[in-house]
Structure 1
Amino acid sequence: MWRAIKSDISAVFDNDPAARSWFEVVFTYSGLHAIWAHRIGHWFYKKGMFTIARIVSQVSRFMTGIEIHPGATIGKRLFIDHGMGIVIGETCEIGDDVILYQGVTLGGTGKEKGKRHPTIGNSVVVGSGAKILGSFLVGENSRIGSNAVVIREVPPNSTVVTMPAKVVKRDGVRVNRLDHGDLPDPIVDIFQDMQKQIDELKAQLEALRTKNGEQREHDTQSV
């Protein structure tokens, strides 16, 4: 248990440059408090004491603003930055070294039974406000952009942005996993491509007009 607590605290220092001391982290980081409360609730949940587990979850939600269902499975070194508004569903599975920013929802899409929430692979970063909805896998080392809405499986080592979410690449090179504000925008890329085509068509039309004007002038002089 103490090894797990130490690992959780170390994850904060690894991922948050604002962390200054162990005392500050232990007593002021709500994401850390939510993870520790979840471990307690999850223990009761696995023992079949579902009501007590939900009470622990609700108390944690009231204190931290982070709602983690006690049935969710969370791996090692999860880091929740700020965390206000995060919701993690009952059948959600989160791997090791995952980073979640505020406003993230790992939820379902309906009233289906069984596995209905996403599985988040190792070393995934989910940007603020992102929604991952449904029972599918987000591959390891992937990055989900802020406010993306993901409703289908994400391959490993992918960068996903926009709504509905699209997998995008930047010259085939992954960017810094913490640099979640520096993501390509496929919508902007589409508009830029359209503008380029419009400019090319304008140039061709202008060239055609010039050619036709010169031809008419030549015909007039010939007459």
Structure 2
Amino acid sequence: MLARLRENIAVVFDRDPAARSTWEVITCYPGLHALTFHQLAHALWGMQLKWLARWVSHWSRWLTGIEIHPGATVGRRVFIDHGMGIVIGETAVIGDDCTLYHGVTLGGTSWNKGKRHPTLEAGVIIGAGAKILGPITLHAGAKVGSNAVVVKDVPPGATAVGIPARIVADNVAQAREAKAETMGFSAYAISANMNDPMVQAIHGLVDHSANIDSRIELILKRLEKLGVDCSDERATADKFDPNFLNKIVD
């Protein structure tokens, strides 16, 4: 249990730039507290001490604002950021290295016994407020945008956005996502169909930047074929300032 706790503390430093000290993480991170309580509650559930497991889970919910059913299976190095309002159902399965933000629901769609909650494979990221409903599978590396409602399986590495969620698969969206990740943030939580001019402006900037980068790369390759040394240009080609995008949405 102590080894798992150390692992979960290390994950906070890996994924939250606001974390400053181990003491702060241990005392002030409800996601860490909820996962630690769940480890105990899940063990009690496995020993058929159902009421005691639910009682531990109930106190964990009261203390952290995060409700994890003791029957749920949670893997290693899972990170819950902020966490308030998260609900994880009894038959939910969360794989290793997943990340959940506040307001996420891993819920069921029927009252039937058996598997009725989602399965998250390794490395899945769920944006704030997203609802993942039913015995579906989000395959390894999948991402779900904020406030999306997912009711169907999501393929490996795919991004799902919207209500109901759809897979972002077109080339323009993939270029936008790839460019956004290189600049230190991910645009997967923003739908291109939203009627918000600010969102459209951000998409326009990211698309334009991705287009310019591809054209510059083409020019550099052609120059290199002519024998021109472009190593300096490649080293300094990407001058896009991610802080500028952050200021836009402040």
Query: Per-residue deviation at 1:176?
Result: 3.1
Q: TM-score, normalized by length of structure 2?
A: 0.72
Q: TM-score, normalized by length of structure 1?
A: 0.80
2:160 corresponds to: 160
Q: Which amino acid aligns with 1:30?
A: P
Q: Is the Cα–Cα contact under 8 Å of residues 98 and 125 in structure 1 kept in the other structure?
A: yes
Query: Per-residue deviation at 1:179?
Result: 3.3
| Alignment partner of 1:31 is 2:36 | no
In structure 2, list runs of 5 or more residues that go unmatched.
201-250
> For the structure 1 residues 29 and 83, does the alpha-carbon distance in structure 2 shift closer, same or farther, using more than 3 Å as the test?
same
- Correspondence list, 1:59-138, <5 A: 59-138=59-138
In structure 1, list runs of 5 or more residues that go unmatched.
193-223
1:16 corresponds to: 16
| Alignment partner of 1:187 is 2:193 | yes
How many pairs does the alignment contain?
190
- Correspondence list, 1:194-213, <5 A: none
Q: Which amino acid aligns with 1:151?
A: V
Query: Per-residue deviation at 1:171?
Result: 3.1
Give aligned-pair identity as a percent: 49
Q: Is the Cα–Cα contact under 8 Å of residues 12 and 79 in structure 1 kept in the other structure?
A: yes
For the pair shown, the structure with the greater C-alpha radius of gyration is: 1
Query: Per-residue deviation at 1:161?
Result: 0.4
Could you list the runs of 4 or more consecutive aligned residues of structure 1 that deviate by over 6 angstroms after TM superposition?
Answer: none
User: What's the RMSD between the two structures over aligned residues?
Assistant: 1.9
Three-state SS of the structure 1 residue aligned to 2:160 is strand
Deviations 1:20-43 (A, max 9, x none): 000000011000000000000000
Which whole-Å CA distance do the structure 2 matches of 1:111 and 1:127 have between them?
26
2:174 corresponds to: 171
Which whole-Å CA distance do the structure 2 matches of 1:180 and 1:114 have between them?
36
> For the structure 1 residues 61 and 180, does the alpha-carbon distance in structure 2 shift closer, same or farther, using more than 3 Å as the test?
farther
RCO higher in structure (CA 8 A, sep ≥6): 1
Q: Is the Cα–Cα contact under 8 Å of residues 146 and 189 in structure 2 kept in the other structure?
A: no
1:45 corresponds to: 45
Three-state SS of the structure 1 residue aligned to 2:167 is strand
1:56 corresponds to: 56
